[in-house]
């Protein structure tokens, strides 16, 4: 986890990231939470590129532990190297159990998805700090 202050408005900025060994060059390799200007984002990144994807976003199927899988279109970001979760990131982050697993499948223009699993160890401490710095609403 890293914290800094915006040079523009002096508001706090915070980021946390977990990584997993990608099974291919374009496979998902990191899952990050960012807070800038009190806005929380959840990002999925690759060491390769998902740049040949449609402007409408990329199909991502994610599954938290043994819960039912969720199928959504995530927004392409950072020149195709990242995908941004389109919904309420705070709600999704709060729904993830500390020590759980997040399985993601990215359908980026290939017949078979790029897939990886992220371990969510230490998420409680990350959530507490983000809730404080980003002034998350009570739940």
pLDDT tens digits along 74-115: 998 888 889 999 999 999 999 999 999 999 999 987 678 999
- pLDDT class for 9, splitting at 50, 70, 90? confident
The predicted structure's pLDDT at residue 53: 63
Provide the Cα torsion 114, 23, 47, 115; round to 10°: 30
Q: What are the structural domain ranges in the chain?
A: 2-133
For the whole model, what pTM was predicted? 0.90
DSSP secondary structure code for residue 122 in this structure = T
125 Cβ neighbours under 8 A, 6+ residues apart: none
User: Can you spell out the DSSP letters for 20-54?
Assistant: ---SSTTSEEEEEEEEETTEEEEEEEESS--TTS-
* Contact (Cβ atoms closer than 8 angstroms) between residue 86 and residue 74: yes
Encode pLDDT of 19-78 as tens digits.
Answer: 998 778 888 999 999 998 889 999 999 988 876 666 678 999 999 999 999 999 999 888
The predicted structure's pLDDT at residue 66: 96
> How is domain 2-133 classified at the architecture level of CATH?
Sandwich (2.60)
* Contact (Cβ atoms closer than 8 angstroms) between residue 45 and residue 34: no
């Amino acid at each position: 986890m890293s914290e800094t202050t915006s040079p523009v408005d002096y508001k706090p900025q915070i980021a946390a990231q977990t990584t997993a060994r990608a099974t291919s060059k374009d496979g998902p390799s990191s899952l990050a939470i960012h807070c800038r200007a009190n806005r929380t984002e959840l990002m999925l990144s690759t060491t390769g590129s998902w740049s040949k994807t449609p402007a409408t976003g990329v199909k991502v199927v994610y599954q938290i532990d043994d819960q039912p899988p969720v199928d959504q279109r995530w927004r392409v970001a950072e020149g195709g190297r990242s995908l941004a979760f389109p919904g309420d990131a705070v709600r999704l982050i709060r729904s993830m159990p500390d020590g759980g697993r997040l399985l993601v499948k990215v359908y980026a223009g290939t017949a078979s998805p790029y897939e990886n699993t992220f371990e969510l160890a230490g998420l409680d401490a990350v959530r507490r700090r983000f809730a404080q710095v980003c002034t998350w609403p009570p739940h």
